[in-house]
Amino acid sequence: MISAMRPCTARTTASFRAYVRQSCRKFSGATRDGFPPYTRPSASATSAPARRRNFRSIPSSSLACPNTQSRTPNVRLSRPIIRQYHGRKKGDHRAFIALGSNVGDRVAMIEMACKEMEASGKIRLLRTSNLWETKAMYVLDQDKFVNGVCEVDTTLSPLELLDELQSIENRMGRVKFIDKGPRNIDLDILLYDEETVVHERLQIPHPLMLEREFVLRPLCDIAPKKRLLRPKSGTFLQSLRKLAPSNPPLSPFTPLARALPPIATTHPNRATRIMSILNVTPDSFSDAGKNYEIDESELARTIKSHIAAGATIIDIGGQSTRPGAIQITSNEEVSRILPVIKIIRSLREAENIAISVDTYHAEVAKHAIEAGADIINDVSAGQMDPEMLPTVAQLGCTVCLMHMRGTPATMNSHANYSPNGVLKTVAEELRQRVEEAEKAGVRRWRIILDPGIGFAKTQDHNLELLHRLEHLRHSPALAGLPWLVGTSRKAFIGKITGVDEAEKRAWGTAAAVTAAIQGGADIVRVHDVEEMTQVARMADALYRVEGWEKTVDGKLS
C-alpha cells in the first residue's frame, strides 16, 4: 500500500520547499546532494510578517507543480508522493478514468474495457460520459480516436489502480507500436479523490488535462462543476470555455448498430434518421392490424419498401400502446416480434439497417436483442418493468427512454405539469430516468431520449414541446444526448387539421416532422416512410446547414 505524506504545515516558500525535499528523500529512500536532512525552521528563521503569510499567498510559480515536467523534483521516485486534501474513508476512493480507442471496433473496445474493470470486483463504474470522436494528436497519420470518461469507486490505491488498468490493456491485446500511435484501448487515471500523486509511473491529476478538449468535453458531461485544487483553478467547464474550439467542432455520438454510422448529435449538417413503424399487432391505432399475421413474403415486401423509401431504422411493435389496448403476455409479444427480426436479418437489402423493438418488457427486450435487434424503444423509460434497465445494461444495447406518466391506459389522467410547466417538468423527469439508467449500468453513450409527444400530454403540451425542442435538447443534464420524436398520425394532428382518419394525416405529420427537425431531432419515427423521407431531406437542407444553426437563446451563432 502507498503511505500518505505527513500533513504539510508550511507557511512560507522556504519551508514548503524543505517539506518537498524531505518527503522526496523519505519516499525514494535515496540520499542526494541538494536534499539535506529536514529540520523545521525555527521561529527566528523567518520574519514575523512571513510567518503570518497565508499559504495561498505564495506565488504559484514558486511551488513544485506535479503536472509540469520542469517543476517536478529532479529525482526518480520509487514510491509516490501523495498529498491528500480531502481523503475518503479507507477502501472507498473516487476516481475518473479516461477511455480511448482508435483501432478496430472502437466503441466495442471501450465497452469491453468497462466490463473488465467491473469484473475485477475492485472497481465499480458509477457513471460514464458521452463518447466523443477526435482527431489524433502528435502522430497524425492514424484513425480518429473515440474518447470518453468514466467515474468509478475503487478499493485500490493509485498505483494498484494503475496496475489493474494496465493489466486490462494487456489482456485486451494492446500493443504499443510507436509512442502516441494507434492503440485499441487506452486507460488513464485523470483524478483520484482530491489527491496529487507524483511518481515515475504516474502523475495525478493527469498532466495537461486542462489543455485538452478531448479530455474536458467528456469530463464536463459528468462533472462540469468539479475543479482541481490548485490556486486560481476554475471548474472543468470554465477551463473548457477558455480553449480555442476545435475545427471541425467535436461532437458526441451514439452508436445504433455496427452497420450504421453513429449519430453525431451536435454536428450541424447531420442527416436526420428515418425510423419506420412496423406494427405487427391487431389493434394499432393507425394501421388497424395491416401487418398482423400476414404471409412472410408479403411482410418481407413491406420491409423492403420501407428500406427503399429511405428508412435506416425499423421499429417493430408487438404490443399496442394506444389507450385501452389489450395487454398481452411477454410470451405472446415475443412470438409476434421474433419472426419479423428473422425476416429482416435474412434480407440483403437490410444489411445496413438497425432494428428497434418497441417494448416495455425486459423479457421481450432480452429475446429481441439476442435474436438480432439493436435498439430497445421503451415508452415507459424503464418504469413499467423494474428489470428493464438492468437488462438493457447487461445486453449492452442502445435504449430509447421516452417520457410518459402512468401507463398507456392511465396516461391521459396525468397531463398536469403545474407549477413548472411541461418543458421544465419533462426535462427534469427525463433527467431522473437517465440517472436511473446510469445507476443500473447503462452507458450514457447508449441512451436516446424521446419527449413523448401524445403520451400524457394535451394538445398544447405537444405543440409547446415541438416549438421548444431546441431548449429541451440543451437542458444541462441532457446535453449531448440524441433525440427521437414521434408525431406520426397522432390525435392532436387530427384535431388541428380536422382529419379524423389516422391514415390521412400525412400533411399534418409533415409539418410536425419539419418542426422536430428544426428543433434538433436526430430521429423521426413515421408511418409514411416515402413521404416523410422527402420532408426530412428538405428540412435538413433548410436547417442542417453548417454556420446557420441557432443557439439556445435563438440568436444566430
What pLDDT, in 10s, does the model give residues 250-263? 999 999 998 899 99
Average pLDDT, the chain: 83
* pLDDT recorded at residue 27: 39
| Domains of the chain by start residue, with CATH | 93-249 (3.30.70.560), 255-544 (3.20.20.20)
What is the arrangement of strands in the sheet containing 203-204, beginning at the earlier edge strand? 81-84, 195-198, 203-204
Lowest mean pLDDT among 107-121, 162-176, 279-293, 418-432: 279-293
Joined together, the cell numbers standing for residue 177 give 507500436
pLDDT one-digit tens code per residue, 217-227: 999 999 999 98
Q: Mean pLDDT throughout 156-182?
A: 87
* Bridge partners, 376 (sequence order): 357, 399
For residue 165, count other CB atoms closer than 10 A to its CB. Answer: 23
| Angle formed by the axes of helices 296-309 and 529-543, nearest 10° | 20
* pLDDT recorded at residue 281: 87
Query: 509 φ, ψ to 5°?
Result: -60, -40
pLDDT one-digit tens code per residue, 48-81: 443 333 333 333 333 233 333 333 333 344 455 5
Q: Mean pLDDT throughout 175-180?
A: 67
Tell me which residue of 185, 203, 193 sits closest to 64, measured CA to CA. Answer: 203
Element (H, E) at 55: none
Task: Give Cβ neighbours of residue 473 (< 8 Å, ≥ 6 apart).
Answer: 479, 483, 519, 520
pTM score, whole prediction: 0.82
* Bridge partners, 523 (sequence order): 273, 484
Residue 389 class from Cβ within 10 Å (0-12 exposed, 13-18 middle, 19+ buried)? buried
Contact 198, 77 (CB under 8 A): yes
Lowest mean pLDDT among 74-83, 118-127, 157-166, 304-313: 74-83
* pLDDT recorded at residue 89: 47
pLDDT one-digit tens code per residue, 336-355: 999 999 999 999 999 999 99
Q: Is the pLDDT confidence value at 87 over 70?
A: no
Tell me which residue of 434, 356, 431, 360 sits closest to 397, measured CA to CA. Answer: 356
Of all residues in the chain, what percent carry a pLDDT higher than 70? 78
Residue 9 Cα distances to 3, 6, 51, 52, 521, angstroms:
18, 9, 11, 13, 55
Count Cβ neighbours within 10 Å for each residue of 461-496 and write b for 16 or more, e otherwise. Answer: bbbbbbebbbbbbebeebbbbbbbbbbbbbbbbbee
How far apart are the C-alpha atoms of 22 and 16, rounded to whole Å?
Answer: 10
Query: 134 φ, ψ to 5°?
Result: -135, 155
- Alpha-carbon dihedral sign for residues 519, 525, 527, 533: positive
Q: Is the pLDDT confidence value at 249 over 80?
A: yes
Q: Mean pLDDT throughout 483-502?
A: 97
How far apart are the C-alpha atoms of 462 and 465, rounded to whole Å?
Answer: 5
Q: Is the pLDDT confidence value at 198 over 90?
A: yes
Verify whether residue 525 is a known catalytic residue.
yes
How far apart are the C-alpha atoms of 205 and 226, rounded to whole Å?
Answer: 13
Contact 373, 357 (CB under 8 A): yes
* pLDDT recorded at residue 365: 98
Q: Is the pLDDT confidence value at 40 over 70?
A: no
* pLDDT recorded at residue 326: 78
Joined together, the cell numbers standing for residue 53 give 503569510
Residue 492 Cα distances to 286, 346, 457, 488, 502, angstroms:
13, 38, 10, 10, 11
Q: Mean pLDDT throughout 248-275?
A: 92
How far apart are the C-alpha atoms of 512 and 496, rounded to whole Å?
Answer: 11
- Residue type at 492 in one-letter notation: F
* pLDDT recorded at residue 288: 57
* pLDDT recorded at residue 81: 54
Query: 186 φ, ψ to 5°?
Result: -140, 120
Verify whether residue 490 is a known catalytic residue.
yes
* pLDDT recorded at residue 73: 38
Catalytic residue among 21, 444, 525, 544: 525
Residue 219 Cα distances to 124, 233, 475, angstroms:
18, 15, 17
Catalytic residue among 490, 495, 537, 544: 490
Q: Mean pLDDT throughout 103-107?
A: 91
